[in-house]
Amino acid sequence: MKIYDLFRAKLWTFNTVQIFRIMRLTIIIITACFLQLSAASKAQVISLNEKNASLETIINKIIDQTSYSFIGDTKLIRKAKLIDINVQNVSIEKVLSLCFINQPMDYSITDRTVVIRKKDKQAVVDIKITGVVTDSTGIALPGVSVVVKGTAKGAGIGAVTNTEGKYVLNVPDGAKVLIFSSVGMKPQEVEINGRTIINVTLKSADAQLDDVVVVAFGKQKKTEVVGSMTTIKPADLKIPSSNLTAALAGKLAGVIAYQRSGEPGADNADFFVRGVTTFGYKVSPLILVDGIESTSTDLARLQVDDIASFSIMKDATSTALYGARGANGVILITTKEGKEGKVNLSFRAENSLSQSTKDVEFADPVTYMTLANEANLTRNPLGGYLYQQSKIDNTIRGTDPVAYPTTDWQKMLLKDYTMNQRYNLNVNGGGKVARYFVAGALSQDHGIMKVDPMNNFNSNANLKTYSLRSNVNINLTKTTELITRISGVFDDYRGPINSGTAIYNEIVNANPVLFPARYAPTEDTRFVRHIMFGNYGDGQFNNPYASLQKGYKDYSQSTMSAQLQLSQDFSFITEGLSARAMVNTQRYAFFDVSRFYNPYYYSLGNYDRVNKTYSLRGLNELQSTISGVPAGTEYLGYDEGDKKVSTSFYSEAALNYKRTFNQVHSLSGMLIGIAKSSLTGGAGDLQSSLPFRNMGLSGRFTYVYNDRYATEFNFGYNGSERFHSSHRFGFFPSAGIAYTVSNENFWKPLKEIMPTLKLRATYGLVGNDQIGSPEDRFFYLSNVNMNSTSNGAVFGTLTDNFLTGVDITRYANNDITWETAKKFNFGIESNLFNKLGIQVDIYKERRTNILMDRTSIPSTMGLSANVRANVGEASSHGVDVSMDYSQNIGSDIWIKGMANFTYATSKFEVYEEPQYAEKNKSHVGYSLSQNWGYIAERLFVDDNDVAYSPKQNFGIYGAGDIKYRDVNHDGQITTLDQVPIGFPTSPEIVYGFGLSAGYKRFDLSCFFQGLGRESFWIDGVKTSPFVNNQGALLKAYADNHWSEENRNIYALWPRLSTTVNVNNTQTSTWLMQNGAFLRLKSLELGYTLPNSITKKAHMSNVRFYLNGTNLFLWSNFKLWDVEMGGNGLGYPVQRVMNLGVLISIN
Amino acid sequence: MNALSSCKKYLNVVPDNIATIDNAFTLRNQAEKYLFTCYSFLPRLGDIANPTLMGSGEMVTPNPGISPMDGYQNIIDLAYGGQNGVLPIGNTWDGENGARSYYIAIRHCNIFLENIVKVPDIQVSERNKWIAEVKFLKAYYHFSLLKMYGPIPVIRKNLPISASVEEVRVKREPVDSVVNYVVQTLDEAIPDLPLEISNQAKELGRVTKPIALAIKAQTLVLAASPLFNGNPDYANFKNKDGQALLNPTVDDTKWKKAADACKAAIDACHEASNAIHYFEKPFNMGAISDATTYCMNVRSTITEEWNNETIWGFSNSKGSTSNLQNMCTPRNDVQQTSGALLAASINAAEMFYTRNGVPIDEDKGWDYAGRFTKLKTIPQSESSLLNPNYITASFNMDREYRFYADLAFDRSSLFGFGRTDETNLLYISTIWGQGNSTGSNSRFSCTGYWPKKLINYKNSGSSGNYNIVSYVWPAIRLASLYLLYAEALNEAEGPSAETYKYIDLVRLRAGLKGVVESWATYAKNPSKPSTKEGFRSIVHQETMIELMFEGENYWNVRRWKNLDMMNRPIKGWDVFQTTTENFYRLKTIFTPNYSYRDFLFPIKEYDLSVNPNLVQNPKW
């Protein structure tokens, strides 16, 4: 019985027990037990004479001669040196002391039992190891503890780095591994391998832990993960912009992203996880910041310095727990939390210079007039000259800039560059009970519009964004943690009444020769106190300068979020059990106010050609009845814009169980329930005003065997209020397995070359309720507008007898339900020589039950709204690859490289459309963002050519207009001749690669980004020159168009026209462009101040950096920045040069 | 279990009482809204966007449109021959491209008819009246589709939303069956319709018995007309199953039915005290000459809203006539800001008779050959109509009063704008650079004529202002019924005292003598009114003159299958010239190239793909 007791006690003290060891030990004990019984009455003195005997032999002899028993690890015992011994009738103590001289083990005797164990204290000679510990930027880290692995902290074998990061440590001979640890840093184990100088770079604990990854509602060990996800170090997302979404492209494998506009406040990039596989309205991923659903604007405003982890969930298992919300992928972000230790302060300041990457070029005024005349006459020989030759001649001569104005609207309105500033401050720290992280940021972005000095208000865009975040963790008890997260983001904007994009559109739509932007006061008008804007006719022409200067708009936008989370460890009930609950509420508010005067427009009157005197004639002293141009005012008017308020309330509760049995069987389970409700204050109609709700129960169960085999099962059971009660809930299971081959024994020989290799596969279903359009709140209800003005009528001699009518905007359909995605993913993760990491994921997805219009219903049904059903199907597939490489050369140079590549393609599988005889019309098999259009063959040579070609049914056309191909040979060009043209409008390939290197205190990094397999179309309508007498003329069109003199049938622009020619503006291959590009997205040079200087200033780290974005672009398209695609006449993407400093104090 | 039910509750966010279609019929007041909904799809006839205004060639604008006309480019395209099957202009089948869908309107009518019985708080007599009104509207929408597309699917009852694909793929029905359906539905409606609107302040414009009878007459006339009555061009116009969509044999009894329907409508109108409208001079207006009176008779028939000739006024159109008037008004000394772009073509101007009441090419005493080449000085005696002592084309002289009532042109008077004193009349000048009526590249008439008929003389203005008095568009007026009757009766029985009587009633208003007398006295062929063919030609031209610029001639010309009329080159003066001699040179603006396919609108190609049972109209 005693032995048994001992056995139990022993088990307790072995702290690295492994099962086979226990088995061996048991054998010894059992053996000993039997022996003991037989030797119960033996003498207690021993005689031995052995040469080169093993300790095992000696012990067996002693057992033979005495009633003592032995306990110890056989493995350990076999390590003992061979023994020479010759004693007669001595006590066991004496024998043992002789046997254990210089043995690597010790013994003790308790009640006739000899326990053999490893020696506690090293008597052998210590080895002195020295080194320097730095952080990843090369800064020396003081206060880092260095201990030998396997020794208790109190055991004395340890050291702490000094203020220069140096340490000296005496380690025992047998020591193999050192552990470096420090508050705020990720602990690191380093093998000694006989070295005496060991320099170590510690990584910040903020960085994604290598072996632990953030997954839905928790964390997993890397070997446990079966789902497909991409994680990125937040620092890699740092760009000189106050819009985080601009940094996504090319940085994250699996994300398709591109930026179409550079306007402050409206420059969010479009981004999709693995492209788009639905025709519903919600195609963007779910964005979760600390577990809370957020908008892309919330993401845009997030400070990189506040982010602790950033990951993208791509496949079914990784998103399953989010249920219906995660069908289009999930972006999961956690913000930093406070860490135990003294106050850590970090401050960043940046100033950047921002300018358009490329401005659109327009034709000069003389060319404009000449070609306007050409446009008018070529279409209508009776049309006459729009601009008399005398005006053109005088313009060339520059006779009088007032009478013959030439206005370069771009120059008039836009500056060459603008300056933006960003500041960010965060502090963290805390003690045993509470830890805090508080961050504040301020950024100011300016537009590039000019301001007239006569205005005392500034109408250039100026967006100020403030944000504040406070995360506090409190240990209520040893097992209870309370976390509060409060954050607010506030935008204050002042800018032009119309958006910057609208100003750009006006520039494209303004006549350069009809009038100047403004007139200088003349003798008659010297008392005028307002700006005398130029105009023509009734004042109905577009004067972008007036639009810009007439007033300004203020908007204010704020998002507040408060979150409370309580975690309880229930280990006292059963080990590994914990629970968590969280509530969050968010409030959003937006309003805008415009203040403006109505510009006074003037045109030239009584111009005296000889004396060049003129008077100015006011055009809008009164409101024009015809064009509706309002009468000018000198005082400001006022207009209230949208006021949007919304709230949301989110709660979740989770029960967690995670335990490892027998060291090798890891089991975990989690159940989580969520409920979400949001309300908006300006919904516009009753149905939209009702609360938006979503609830679900999800679960995850994992089993991992010995860090090699991992399996996972997930489910989501979700309800959505949008569906009829019979279809309201959906069940979406998924499962996956992962196999870490490199942890197998047989892999050992390959471990040097390929330290890790892991294979993963998952399959599952995900639901989506965000289908149709957001206005379609309740598919099972009809939507009837009982006060439709357009369906109203008026009768009688009294004009006020108007009654509104009834309009049906949706027909009820009880059967509409969840869109379902079936997702399959296969991934490989590997690492070569611990230097090159590779992760490859291949996926396939099929969406079914996609809501779409029933096109089988003809117009004769007389339905005023489309009838829809879950009939569409689409599929997608693709591959995400990411690679990273790091290498140190000597102690001063480090190099890191990264590359990633995303290919995502989609196609219609089932698409309800009319049964065309023409195969080219069918969507099936083509990308969801494929465009259909006509094949433009060339321009018509002459009217004869027109007469002998198939009739084109898009309005009037003739020589010099685009000739389309009659694909179905029915003798005319109709919609049936449309074929899929070009690549999809959303790129199928997005890639990026970068290199960074450091030498001593300098670091340099560059990042290239590109995309491919994308087509876009020049907007033929918007770029049509001369329309309404005011469409501007692109230089490219002026240089290369069809004219009667130069019948170039492959000219860029067809025959000119003073109106939009419907024939030429059909979607066709004529204006189709390849959207592929590669750009030097960013370049950064950094310098870290030497410690000696930093220390004097009581700082821990100071780094200066100079960086730039969008510096170079390679593309075949030259008219504007190709990334803007078809939006090229809008606010250009910006090139930014930035100077910044980061200061840390602790 | 408890948790589950509370979950369900959580997602049950929809309160009771969400508006559904049933709510529209719970109370009379709500049901009245639905009644108005059925009315709201009536075409906006007095609107520039009405494709038949410009589509008839009577009015033109420059093409491509100049900026103020930009919103109407598709209508301009239609006039210039841009109709197509891909995106048809004025597509009332689908409700696209400048039109609302008549099929949606019909569905609303059916919903109303199915549900009106549910309304508890409505008097039986009122309910019956409403039912009759909506039945009328349902017939009218079918009739409008028939005019545009010929054979159409008739929607007698609504198909349920859940109808199978086979059910929804309806077929076109032969013209005769559509006509029968329209007539039968009108006949059902007529007994419950009032003869006149008693509450004029609130209900004028609602359907009455005379309106329904007039539409019935129009339907039967259309069915009897050459386009649909045994038209050999449509011999092969068949459904996919071989069903002929037009009766291949001419049936002259259709004209008799049509004439009877016209007479019934006229009688009902008379009973409802409709009569040919004559201008009533306001007490505060000074004396006006006979010439001005005749002109004002014609102009006020259109612009004096709810006058006694109006059988059906489209009250919904009132707003749009303001824009129309603006575009029809030349800029002048009183207002200098009108839109002024809608030009009357010389083709329209040629249609009018001489002062003697016969066509210009038939008048013995009128120099037809020299009409465009000779210039004349205006005598003082014409001062009510023309600016004396100035020079104008002989084409503009010695014409009937409707010429001067309907048209504004170089040297013509512009009675109104506060200038009603004939010693101080407003005259316009259109020679480029002279006067106020031209001189801007964006506001001019490309022919030299404006459709003055549509301009309310009550409009006023100042140099920077144009105040327009809009009016309710007269969709059907008595004169058109008279002419329709004369036409139908002539086709059925040949000319007679009855046919002369009704055509002469119309002529009388314009100061013209009867057809028999006029032709006998002035025409090269004095006996023309006595033959069926002769009278047909006379009544056609009379109709075109009388209904000029009202959009009706678009349908009439097609009904008559008069391709020659449609394909006349559209002409105007050389308006950019700055001297009188150069100005009065004839220019062709464009030459239409219509073929017989243009008698019907094309069905959108897409619809044929959606419903394979539909056949396209011939040659589209």
pLDDT at A16: 42
Buried b (16+ CB within 10 A) or exposed e, A1043-1053: eeeeeebebbb
Q: In which band, very low, low, confident or very high, does the pLDDT at A211 lie, cut at 50, 70 and 90?
A: low
Contacts of A267 (CB under 8 A, 6+ apart): A241, A243, A246, A259, A261, A1131, A1134
Mean pLDDT of A347-354: 92
Q: What are the φ and ψ backbone dihedral angles of A237, each rounded to 5 degrees?
A: -95, 0
Alpha carbon separation from A75 to A20, A79, A105, A662, B83 (Å, rounded): 11, 7, 12, 20, 97
Distance CA B51, CA B56 (A): 9
Considering only CB atoms, B62 lies closest to which of A380, A540, A955, namely: A380
Candidate from A262-276, A690-704, B512-526, B564-578 with smallest mean pLDDT = A262-276
Query: Which residues lie closer than 8 Å to A218 by C-beta, 6 or more apart?
Result: A656, A670
Q: What's the pTM? A: 0.76
Predicted confidence at residue A918, as pLDDT, reads 82
Q: Over the stretch A624-680, which tens digit does the pLDDT of each residue have?
A: 665 678 888 888 888 888 889 999 999 999 999 998 888 889 899 999 999 989 999
What CA–CA distance (Å, rounded) separates A672 from A1145? 40
Please tell me if residue B32 touches chain A, with a CB cutoff of 8 Å: yes
Who wins on pLDDT, A842 or A629?
A842
Q: Do A956 and B10 touch (CB under 8 A)?
A: no
Instruction: Name the strand (E) or helix (H) holding B536.
Output: helix B532-546
**A173-204 b/e with 16+ CB inside 10 Å = b?**
eebeebbbbbebbbebebebeeeeebebbbbe
> Is B329 within 8 Å of B340 (Cβ atoms)?
yes
Q: What angle do CA A1035, A1038, A1039 make, to 5 degrees?
A: 90
- Tell me the nearest-neighbour CA distance from B154 into chain A, angstroms: 9
Size of interface A-B (CB pairs under 8 A): 244
Helices B209-224, B124-149: crossing angle, 10 deg rounding = 20
Is B337 in Cβ contact with A538 (below 8 Å)? Answer: yes
- Chain B closest-CA separation from residue A215 CA (Å): 27
Look at residue A122 in the predicted model and tell me its pLDDT.
47
Please state the rounded mean pLDDT for residues A193-210: 69
Beta-carbon separation of A805 and B24 below 8 A: no
User: What mean pLDDT value characterizes chain A?
Assistant: 85
Residues of chain B in contact with residue A1059, where contact means CB-CB under 8 angstroms, are 64-65, 70, 73
pLDDT at A471: 94
A857 to chain B nearest CA, in Å? 6
DSSP string, A662-731: TTTEEEEEEEEEEEEEEEETT-SSHHHHSPEEEEEEEEEEEEEETTTEEEEEEEEEEEETTS-GGG-EEE
Query: Do B231 and B561 contact (CB within 8 A), yes or no?
Result: yes
Query: Which residues make beta-bridge pairs with A559?
Result: A489, A588
What size, in residues, is chain A? 1146
Residue A558 has pLDDT above 50, yes or no: yes
Q: CA A436, A440, A441: angle at the middle one, nearest 5?
A: 150
At B291, list the tokens: 């010439």
Burial class for B209, CB neighbours closer than 10 Å (0-12, 13-18, 19+): buried
d(CA B213, CA A802): 26
Closest CB to B153 among A785, A860, A867: A860
Q: Is the pLDDT of residue A26 over 50?
A: no
Q: For B453-469, what is the mean pLDDT?
A: 87
Smallest CA-to-CA distance from A891 within A1000, A1005, A1001, A1003 is with: A1000
User: Cβ–Cβ of B85/A1062 closer than 8 Å?
Assistant: no
Q: Are strands A551-569 and A532-534 parallel, antiparallel or unpaired?
A: unpaired
Residues of chain A found within 8 Å of residue B39, distances taken between Cβ atoms? 793, 795
Q: Is the pLDDT of residue B401 over 90?
A: yes
What residues of chain B lie within 8 A of the CB of A811, using their CB?
Answer: 161
Query: Any idea how long chain B is?
Result: 620
Contact state of A801 with B20 under an 8 Å Cβ cutoff? no
Chain A neighbors of B95, CB-CB under 8 A = 859
Chain B residue numbers touching A690 (CB-CB < 8 A) = 13-15
Structure confidence by residue, pLDDT tens digits, A265-285 = 778 888 888 888 887 777 889
CB A803 to CB B36 under 8 A? yes
Bridge partners (DSSP) of residue A603 are A617
What local confidence, expressed as pLDDT, does residue A137 receive?
A: 61
Contacts of A797 in chain B (CB under 8 A): 200-201, 204, 306
A452-494 residue pLDDT tens: 777 777 888 889 999 999 999 999 998 999 999 999 999 999 9
Any CB–CB contact under 8 A between A796 and chain B?
Answer: yes
Distance separating the N- and C-terminal Cα atoms of chain A: 58
Taking only the tens place, the pLDDT of each residue in B502-544 is 999 999 999 999 999 999 999 999 999 999 999 999 999 999 9
CB B369 within 8 A of CB B259: no
Distances (CA, A) of B126 to B30, B129, B131, B186, B194: 14, 5, 9, 18, 11
Angle in degrees, 0-180, between the axes of helices B532-546 and B515-522, rounded to the nearest 10: 100
Q: Which pLDDT belongs to residue A563?
A: 95
Give the chain B residue whose CA is nearest to the CA of A810: B20
Nearest chain B Cα distance for residue A572, angstroms: 28
Dihedral pair phi/psi, residue A663, rounded to 5°: 70, -20
Q: Establish if B562 touches chain A: CB-CB under 8 angstroms.
A: no
* Cβ contacts of B15 on chain A, cutoff 8 Å: 690
Tell me what pLDDT residue A975 has. Answer: 87
Residue A532, strand partner residues:
A519, A600
The first and second tokens of residue A794, run together, are 């008026």
Q: What does the pLDDT average to over A1099-1111?
A: 89
Cα–Cα distance, A298 to A447 (Å, whole number): 21
> Which of B130, B161, B571 to substitute to test the interface with A, most A CBs within 10 Å?
B161
Q: What is the pLDDT of residue A723?
A: 87
Phi and psi at residue B588, to the nearest 5°: -90, 125
Distance between CA B308 and CA B269 in Å, rounded?
Answer: 10
End-to-end CA separation in angstroms for chain B = 65
pLDDT at res. A40: 43
pLDDT for B527 equals 94
> Is any Cβ of chain A less than 8 angstroms from the Cβ of B440?
yes
Are residues B407 and B398 in contact, defined by beta-carbon separation less than 8 angstroms?
Answer: no
Residues from chain B contacting residue A916 (CB–CB below 8 Å) = 609
Per DSSP, helices labelled H in B12-62 are 28-39, 51-55
Q: Which residues of B touch A720 (CB under 8 A)?
A: 11
Using the predicted structure, report yes or no on whether residue A138 has a pLDDT greater than 80: no
CB contacts under 8 A, B 381-420 vs A, are none
Rounded Cα gap, residues A961 and A974, in angstroms: 16
Q: How far apart are CA A1023 and CA B389, in angstroms?
A: 51
State which H helix or E strand residue A373 sits in.
helix A365-379
Chain A nearest C-alpha distance from B77 (Å): 6
Spell out the alpha helix ranges (H) of B239-374: 253-271, 290-303, 318-328, 346-351
pLDDT at A762 > cutoff 50: yes
Given a cut of 60, is residue B9 above it in pLDDT?
yes
Tens of pLDDT, residue by residue over A511-538, are 899 889 888 888 777 788 888 899 887 7
Residue A1118 has pLDDT above 70, yes or no: yes
Work out the pLDDT band at A23, boundaries 50, 70, 90. very low
Query: Please, which residues 711-750 of chain A have a Cβ atom closer than 8 Å to chain B?
Result: 719-721, 725, 728
Q: Which residues of B touch A956 (CB under 8 A)?
A: 63-64, 77, 80-82
Predicted pLDDT of residue A439: 94
Q: Which of A790, A796, A803 sits opposite B200 (nearest CB)?
A: A796
Which tens digit of pLDDT belongs to each residue from A588-615? 999 999 999 889 998 887 777 777 788 8
Could you give the CA distance from residue A762 to residue A712 in angstroms, rounded to a whole number? 9
- Facing residues of A582 across strands? A565, A652
Which residues does A372 contact at the CB level (< 8 Å), separation at least 6? Answer: A386, A387, A1025, A1026, A1033, A1058
What residues in A contact B171, CB-CB < 8 Å? none
Q: Is the pLDDT of residue A1013 over 60?
A: yes
Angle, alpha carbons B586-B592-B596 (nearest 5°): 145
**Interchain CB distance below 8 Å, B13 and A782:** no
Residue A24 pLDDT > 60, yes or no? no
- Cα–Cα nearest to B492, from B231, B217, B226, B259: B259
A819-823: average pLDDT? 91
Give the 3-state secondary structure of residue B257.
helix
Angle between helices B478-493 and B497-509 (to 10 degrees): 150
For position A152, what pLDDT does the model report?
Answer: 52
Under an 8 A CB cutoff, do B465 and A855 touch? no
Count of other CB atoms within 10 angstroms of residue B4: 9
In chain A, positions 150-189, which contact chain B (CB-CB < 8 Å)? none
Q: Which residues share a beta bridge with A1103?
A: A1088, A1142
| Residue A7 scores a pLDDT above 50 | no
Q: Give the residue from chain A lying closest to B610, CA to CA.
A: A914
In one-letter notation, the amino acid at residue B499 is T
User: How is residue A231 annotated by DSSP?
Assistant: E
Identify whether the C-beta of residue A780 lies closer than 8 Å to the C-beta of residue A816. Answer: yes
Q: What phi, psi does A952 have (nearest 5°)?
A: -105, 130
Question: Between chains, do B316 and A806 touch, taking CB under 8 Å as contact?
Answer: no
Contact: A793, B159; criterion CB under 8 Å: no
Bridge-based pairing state of the strands A532-534 and A600-608? parallel
Question: Is the pLDDT assigned to residue B93 strictly greater than 80?
Answer: yes
Q: Cα–Cα distance between B344 and A97 in angstroms, integer?
A: 130
State both tokens at A816.
Answer: 């509409």
| Whether residue A111 has pLDDT greater than 80 | no
Is pLDDT of A891 > 50? Answer: yes
Residue B283's CB is within 10 A of a number of other CB atoms, namely 5
Q: What is the model's pLDDT at position A852? A: 87
The alpha carbon of residue B449 and the mean position of all alpha carbons in its chain are separated, in whole angstroms, by 20
Q: Identify the band that residue A617 occupies on the pLDDT scale cut at 50, 70 and 90.
A: confident
Whole-Å CA distances, A959 to A34, A664, A1048, A1049: 112, 80, 11, 10
B67 at interface of A, judged by CB pairs closer than 8 A: yes
The per-residue pLDDT of chain B, averaged, comes to 91
Please give the pLDDT value at position B406. Answer: 96
**Which of B80-84, B95-99, B182-186, B435-439 shows the lowest mean pLDDT across its residues?**
B435-439
DSSP state of B401: H
A1044-1085, pLDDT tens digit by residue?
Answer: 888 999 999 999 988 888 899 999 999 999 999 999 998 999
Using a CB-CB distance cutoff of 8 angstroms, which residues of chain A are in contact with residue B178? none
Q: Smallest Cβ distance to B18: which of A625, A781, A858?
A: A781
Q: Could you tell me which of A495, A485, A507, A127 has the C-alpha nearest to residue A288?
A: A485
For residues A194 and A177, what is the distance between their CA atoms, to the nearest angstrom?
10
Instruction: Give the number of C-alpha atoms closer than 13 A to the C-alpha of residue B470, restricted to the C-beta side.
Output: 20
Question: Are residues B13 and A795, on separate chains, in Cβ contact within 8 Å?
Answer: no
Structure tokens at A437: 């992280």
| Interface residue B107 vs chain A (CB under 8 A) | yes
Taking residues B350-368, report their average pLDDT.
Answer: 95
Tell me which chain B residue has its CA closest to the CA of residue A1060: B64
Check B155 against A860: CB less than 8 A apart. yes
